[in-house]
Structures are given as C-alpha cells and as structure tokens.
C-alpha cells in the first residue's frame, strides 16, 4: 500500500496536485515543490543569512520542515504564506543559534538630514537590499522583520527573545546607519549632510 501511494500521479504545474502527492510521500512531487519554491525560499533566506553557507542551510532546513509538517498545513489558507512563515522562523532559529552577542552602537549624537526623495526613488530594491546586507546582524534582523516582512515590535521581541524597546531601538539605529551609508555613497548628499551638521554645531 505504501509503495502504491508513493507512485501517486500529480501535475507538476498544479500546486494543489503537487501538495497532495507530497502528502502521499511521492519523492518526485517533493522535488517539484522544491523547484516551485526554491527561488522564493532563497530570496527570504538571503535577507536574513550572514553568509552564503547559511543561506543554503536555511533553505535545506526549511524544506525539511515543510515536508515533515505538511500534515499541519491548512489547505484553506495560502500555501505560500505558510511556507514563508516556516522559512522566516528557520532563519530566526539560525540567527539565535549563531549570533551570541547582540550588536549595539551609540547613535544618540548623530543628526541625520532628510534624504532627498529623488535620491531615494533612484535606488532599486536590489540596491536597498545591498545596504541592508551590510548592517550588523542585530540591526539587519530587526529591520528585515519589521520593514520588509511586516512583523510588529512585540512579535519581533518574542521571536528574538529581546525586549520590545530593544527592537524599537535597533530599528531606529538601523535606519540611521542605512541613511549614513546612502549618504556616503552619494557625495552630493553627504556634502549637504556635513554642512548642515557643521552649521548646527557652530550655532
């Protein structure tokens, strides 16, 4: 009977059919599901991982969790959202396991000028993510969870095992650091920033 179930036919272009076959233990269906969602899993993992090796580990562990917990999936809900939650939680597990010491930096005395809308609008999503990748791990994690994936500070605090105030502080500092990186990468904006700060300090 098990052998028969593993040979369950499916349509590789139909997600519902693939999931049903995965339930039956069809390895070809599992490969089809990986093919359908590998790119999605990678895009999420890259936002959180500290290096390429971690990206691969997060992806592999995420799919393993998906197959082991497929019986818990509520078919009345979007599969992609369920899958996304598993990948994000897996990435958080890796963060908590590998980042032992949170990163903090004092930005209290930094005054950031408002960046010109034209300059911001010229940045592509890839360029913005390049800057985010350069953030210290603690800042990157909170920024990604809050700004990109839409978690609340209370949810982030629970997920990371930190205080809600720490989440808010890390987000604020992450934004300041991002602004500085963008300013330095745009000489004209950075010059205006330095002039404004000099004027403030002198007066």
Do 6 and 93 belong together in one domain? yes
Residue 145 in domain: yes
Angle in degrees, CA 172, 173, 177, rounded to 5:
120
Indicate if 19 and 75 belong to the same structural domain: yes
pLDDT the model gives residue 190 = 52
Q: What pLDDT is recorded for position 117?
A: 45
Same domain? 122 vs 157: yes
pLDDT at 156: 94
Contact 125, 147 (CB under 8 A): no
d(CA 91, CA 96) in angstroms, rounded, equals: 9
- The whole domain housing 140 covers 117-202
Q: Is residue 110 part of a domain?
A: no
Q: Which residues of the chain have pLDDT under 50?
A: 1-6, 101-120, 192-193, 195-203
| Number of compact structural domains in the chain | 2
pLDDT of residue 41: 96
Structure confidence at residue 39 (pLDDT):
96
The verdict on residue 155 lying in a domain is: yes
* Domain end call among 48, 64, 98: 98
Q: What is the CATH number of the domain that holds 42?
A: 1.10.1740.10
Taking Cα atoms as reference points, which of 202, 20, 170 lies closest to residue 99? 170
């Amino acid at each position: 009977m098990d052998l028969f179930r593993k040979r369950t036919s499916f349509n590789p272009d139909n997600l519902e059919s693939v999931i049903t076959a995965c339930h039956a233990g069809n390895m070809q269906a599992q490969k089809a599901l990986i093919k359908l969602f590998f790119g999605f899993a990678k895009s999420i993992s890259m936002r959180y991982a500290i290096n390429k090796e971690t990206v691969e580990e997060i992806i592999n562990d995420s799919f393993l969790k998906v197959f082991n917990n497929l019986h818990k999936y509520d078919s009345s809900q979007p599969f992609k959202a369920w899958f996304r939650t598993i990948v994000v939680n897996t990435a958080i597990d890796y963060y908590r396991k590998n980042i032992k010491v949170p990163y903090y930096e004092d930005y209290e005395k930094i005054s950031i000028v408002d960046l010109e809308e034209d300059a911001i609008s010229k940045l592509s999503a890839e360029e913005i993510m390049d800057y985010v990748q350069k953030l210290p791990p603690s800042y990157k994690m909170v920024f990604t969870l809050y700004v990109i994936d839409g978690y609340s500070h209370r949810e982030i605090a629970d997920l990371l095992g930190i205080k809600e105030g720490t989440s808010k502080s890390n987000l604020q500092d992450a934004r300041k650091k991002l602004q500085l990186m963008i300013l330095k990468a745009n000489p004209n904006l950075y010059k205006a920033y330095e002039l404004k700060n000099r004027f403030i300090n002198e007066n």
